[in-house]
């Protein structure tokens, strides 16, 4: 009889992030998929140090965890700021610069993606760490009186709000391009099917519906500042071959700036949203 395959895990910070040690074969077997999904939902981020999966393996592993999204005809996307890496889709490099600011992916959708996996193929000599903030933990830690004032608020999300961070003086054509993606209104507090609650914030959050603009923007700023305090944040300093998964429904993330020509190259696979943000 063969031994059941084993994985070992340990928390990297009290409120976010767990490192998982397992070999590629064990992960590809799918035997631990349910356990890993549960761990991801509870811990926000899973780190597999120096795993060195090939792109094909990353895709196969992703498929054990959920339905892999097709993004612009690909299931495995190269994340790079280098225009040569994004041939035929040079605008993507500008788009990825948006990742330098705290955000949640796919807030333009009713059901933002469940999770993404990033595999480190090439690193920048400087910068390029990825930070994650646990938006469940941030909600849980808010004083109850404050929680009561936020519940029920609705936030308008737009690509324009996020792109203004990197292009603060856009052309009309740029603005028109961003506006092709319709705005989306989401609750500020996501009540998940599990009953847990998380904050929905980030660079796409433009303003609070029905509130005075400056008042609404102050609330969003207050909450971003709150949710990105050190106790809610895990910063991943990449080593070649690392694989990191984040729960996009219960965390925000950002990349720390790195030079556009640094050669940093990540491969990303993304799991389809499973729950309407409500």
The residues of the shown chain that bind ligand OGA, judged by CB under 6 A, are 79, 99, 105, 116, 130, 253, 255, 266, 268
Q: Please choose which of Mn ion, ligand OGA, none residue 219 contacts, taking the beta carbon within 5 to 8 angstroms, the exact cut-off set by kind.
A: none
Which residue minimizes CB distance to Mn ion?
105
In the complex with ligand OGA, the residue whose CB is nearer, 208 or 243, is 243
Nearer CB in complex with Mn ion: 22/113 = 113
Nearer to ligand OGA, 102 or 232 (CB): 102
Q: How far is the CB of 79 from ligand OGA (least distance, A)?
A: 5
| Residue number with CB closer to Mn ion (97 or 196) | 97
The DSSP letter of residue 59 is H
The dihedrals phi and psi of 80, each to the nearest 5 degrees, come to -155, 150
User: C-alpha distances in angstroms, 20 versus 129, 131, 202?
Assistant: 19, 18, 27
**Least spacing, CB of residue 223 vs ligand OGA, in Å:** 20
Binder of residue 206, out of ligand OGA, Mn ion, none (CB less than 5 to 8 A by kind): none
Smallest distance, Mn ion to C-beta of residue 95, A: 10
Residues 117, 95: Cα–Cα separation, whole Å: 19
Task: Please state, in angstroms and rounded to a whole number, the distance separating the CA atoms of residues 74 and 89.
Answer: 13
Distance CA 229, CA 131 (A): 12
Q: Could you tell which of ligand OGA, Mn ion, none binds residue 262, using a CB distance below 5 to 8 A set by kind?
A: none
In a 3-state reduction of DSSP, which class is residue 244? Answer: strand
Q: Which is nearer to ligand OGA, 30 or 127 (CB)?
A: 127
* C-alpha to C-alpha distance for 217 and 153, rounded to whole angstroms: 12
| Torsion sign across C-alpha atoms 120, 48, 192, 34 | positive
Judge whether 161 and 203 are in contact, CB under 8 Å.
yes
Site string for Mn ion, 105-144 (x = CB under 5 A): x---------------------------------------
Sequence-distant (≥ 6) Cβ neighbours of residue 260 within 8 angstroms = 81, 82, 93
Pick what 266 binds: Mn ion, ligand OGA, none; C-beta below 5 to 8 Å, kind-dependent. ligand OGA
Q: How near is the Cβ of 246 to ligand OGA at its closest, in Å? A: 9
Residue closer to Mn ion, measured from CB, 79 or 189: 79
Nearest Cα residue to 75 out of 248, 274, 269: 269
Place of tokens 């330098």: 100
Q: Which of residues 73-112 bind Mn ion (CB under 5 A)?
A: 99, 105
Contact pattern for Mn ion over residues 212 through 251, marking x by CB under 5 A = ----------------------------------------
Query: Whole-number minimum distance, CB 266 to ligand OGA, in Å?
Result: 5
Rounded to 5°, angle at Cα 204 from 190 and 233: 65
Task: Say if CB 65 and CB 271 are below 8 A apart.
Answer: yes
Which residues make up the interface to Mn ion (CB under 5 A)? 99, 105
């Amino acid at each position: 009889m063969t031994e059941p395959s084993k994985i070992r895990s340990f928390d990297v910070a009290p409120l976010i992030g767990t490192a998982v040690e397992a070999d590629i074969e064990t992960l590809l077997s799918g035997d631990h998929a349910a356990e890993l999904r549960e761990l991801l939902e509870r811990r926000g981020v899973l780190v597999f140090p120096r795993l060195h999966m090939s792109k094909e393996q990353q895709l196969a592993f992703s498929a054990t965890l959920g339905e892999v999204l097709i993004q612009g005809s690909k299931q495995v996307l190269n994340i790079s700021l280098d225009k040569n890496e994004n041939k035929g889709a040079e605008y993507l490099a500008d788009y990825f610069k948006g990742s330098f600011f705290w955000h949640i992916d796919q807030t333009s959708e009713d059901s933002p993606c469940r999770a993404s996996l990033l595999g480190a193929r090439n690193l920048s000599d400087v910068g390029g760490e990825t930070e994650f903030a646990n938006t469940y933990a941030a909600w849980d830690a808010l004083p109850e009186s404050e929680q009561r004032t936020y519940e029920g608020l609705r936030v308008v999300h737009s690509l324009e709000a996020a792109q203004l961070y990197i292009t603060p003086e856009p052309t009309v054509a740029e603005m028109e391009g961003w506006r092709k993606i319709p705005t989306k209104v989401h609750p500020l507090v996501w009540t998940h099917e599990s009953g847990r609650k998380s904050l929905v914030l980030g660079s796409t959050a433009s303003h609070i519906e029905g509130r005075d603009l400056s008042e609404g923007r102050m609330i969003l700023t207050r909450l971003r500042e709150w949710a990105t305090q050190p106790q809610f944040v895990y910063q991943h300093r990449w080593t070649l071959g690392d694989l990191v998964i984040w729960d996009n429904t219960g965390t925000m993330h950002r990349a720390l700036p790195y030079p556009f020509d640094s050669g940093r190259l990540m491969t990303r696979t993304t799991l389809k949203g499973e729950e309407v943000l409500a």
